Structure 1
């Protein structure tokens, strides 16, 4: 009997985007491991007394999603993937990356971080990363990886609405911890273009940030949970725009026109690699032109790489 331990990066997270990632990853993974004994722990909180024992007994430990790859050494420090020093022996040589990206650009990986990753990552498995920045980290460890893009895109349908026809409403997102004066320009342009402007807070602090912008009183705020967001997207003809990558990607799953505003390596890399409609925030002056134009989304996903990665988990 196979025993797989899943590190779930949506547990203990204040970012609903992690929930979006996890729901998609599990939709692809769980059918492949229906014969296995599956245990779970929280990525943000790390291994506790019980889950450390479970991970130690597991055949594999799968780190699921989000931007958990980092070039800096974070063992014993608060991070998306929290690892205590006493956890290392439990996960040594067992960790397989499933749709994991890099949290930021870098020039060099710290020596201690490289040694840590080489110790815990499974040497005989191909790891799935979601961007080329993440691939660079895995390759620096001397391990094999495939850039499968983000698992949230693997089953995303083509846009169902007319990609050249702008609807009368838009739903946008903001990122408080990467605020910029250009965000005000984004809001102002959307208020000029659309009759109805909605805001979805992917994190609570994003709503706090919205309250600091001019004209925010004209914005309709949606409940900050995934069920409400899905219900809105499925019932409302709306464009989905903003700096929250997975808030935009969720719009694709409901057949909406989307435009991700790239504020870091994630949207930049993923957009360039699979043709997800993106706009660098530095080019915010082009926003109205893009929204008035054709937002066709023909994703060019690396199906062979995705299949190569997933086939590793099929029952023999």
Structure 2
């Protein structure tokens, strides 16, 4: 019986997008180990004494999802993948990345970070990264990177979801407080002028106060901050989905909703350019968002079937 340990980046996270990613990772990974003992620890808090024992006993450790690859030394600051000096011996040459991306643009990978990753990451496996920047970090560390894009898109490898060509009467949108920008207010006003009904999903707690700073909310339905409430709204409402939250938008595809991701950093930019996921740069909102909404938003994604099979095939 194998022992598989999961470093779960949705535990102790205030970002509901992490739940979306980890849910998809688990759905593809766990069927490969039907008879395994599965244990779990938090990515944000690190292993801790109990998790350290479990990871030390495990045959393989998977780091699941999110933007957990840094080109800078991740041990010197708070980070979504916390690794302490006590964790390094038990994780040595044992961690396999699954659906992990780079957290930001970079010019080079710090030497100390490359050394840490080369120590932690399995030399016997390819690592599933969701963008080319993540792959660059992994290759600098001397490990094999497989660009599988984000596992949240894998369900569309065979066929893109049947999204409408025309705009819906309603829109559900998201914001990102920690990457605030004046064009966010412009986006909201354009949405007001383009749709009959507006709804807002706060993917992080600070996003709702940010919305209230930007505009009045009397004409906006505020959804409860849970993935269950978000799914329920998307299932029952004829709505488009847009905003600055990449995985909040991707979730709309699961409900066959027309989506448009507002690109605010490397994540949406990289995934959009590599797969065809519809995106608009935030700096283009004032000039182009209204027209993008009015017209069809084609969804013709090219997703890496061979890369997905290359990664999963290691564990079959």
What is the TM-score of this pair, normalised by structure 2? 0.97
Aligned equivalent of 2:86: 86
For residues 61-90 of structure 1, the C-alpha deviation after alignment (integer angstroms, 9 at most, x for no partner) is 100000000011122642100111110000
The CA distance in 2 between the partners of 1:161 and 1:152, in whole Å, is 17
Q: Which moved more, 1:235-244 or 1:32-41?
A: 32-41
In structure 2, distance between residues paired with 1:12 and 1:208: 21
- Residue 253 of structure 1: aligned partner: 254
In structure 1, which of residues 308, 311, 316 is the aligned counterpart of residue 310 of structure 2? 308
Number of equivalenced pairs: 313
Distance 1:247 1:36 in 2: 31
Q: CA deviation at 1:187?
A: 0.2
User: Could you say what secondary structure the match of 1:85 adopts?
Assistant: coil
Q: Show the counterpart of 1:267.
A: 268
Residue number in structure 1 paired with 2:219: 218
Structure 2 gap ranges (5+): none
CA contact (8 A) 2:4 2:60 kept: yes
Kept after mapping to 1: 8 A contact 2:126/2:311 = yes
Determine the C-alpha separation between the residues in 2 that align with 1:161 and 1:269: 22
Question: Which residue number corresponds to residue 174 of structure 2?
Answer: 173
Return 5+ residue gaps in structure 1 as ranges: none
Question: 1:14-93 to 2 correspondence within 5 Å?
Answer: 14-75=14-75, 77-93=77-93
Q: Distance in 2 between matches of 1:76 and 1:213?
A: 34
Q: Deviation of residue 108 (structure 1)? A: 1.1
Alignment partner of 1:107 is 2:107 = yes
2:187·2:289 contact (CA, 8 Å) conserved in 1?
yes
Contact kept? 1:262, 1:281, Cα under 8 Å: yes
In structure 2, C-alpha distance between the alignment counterparts of 1:64 and 1:96, rounded to whole Å: 9
Deviation of residue 51 (structure 1)?
1.0
- Whole-angstrom CA distance in 2 between matches of 1:4 and 1:162: 41
CA distance in 2, matches of 1:300, 1:29: 22
SS at match of 1:155: helix
2:292 counterpart (290, 293, 309): 290
Equivalents in 2 of 1:207, 1:214: separation in Å? 11
Match of 2:194 in 1: 193
Deviations along 1:217-266, whole A, 9 cap, x unmatched? 32111111000000110111100000000000000010000000000000
TM-score by length of 1: 0.97
What value does the CA root-mean-square deviation take over the aligned residues?
1.0
d(CA) in 2 for partners of 1:160 and 1:198? 22
46-55 vs 71-80, greater mean Cα deviation: 71-80
Partner of 1:11: 11
Is contact 2:260-2:279 (8 Å) kept? Answer: yes
Residues 268-292 of structure 1, C-alpha deviations (whole Å, 9 max, x = no match): 0000000000000011120011111
**Aligned residue in 1 for 2:133:** 133
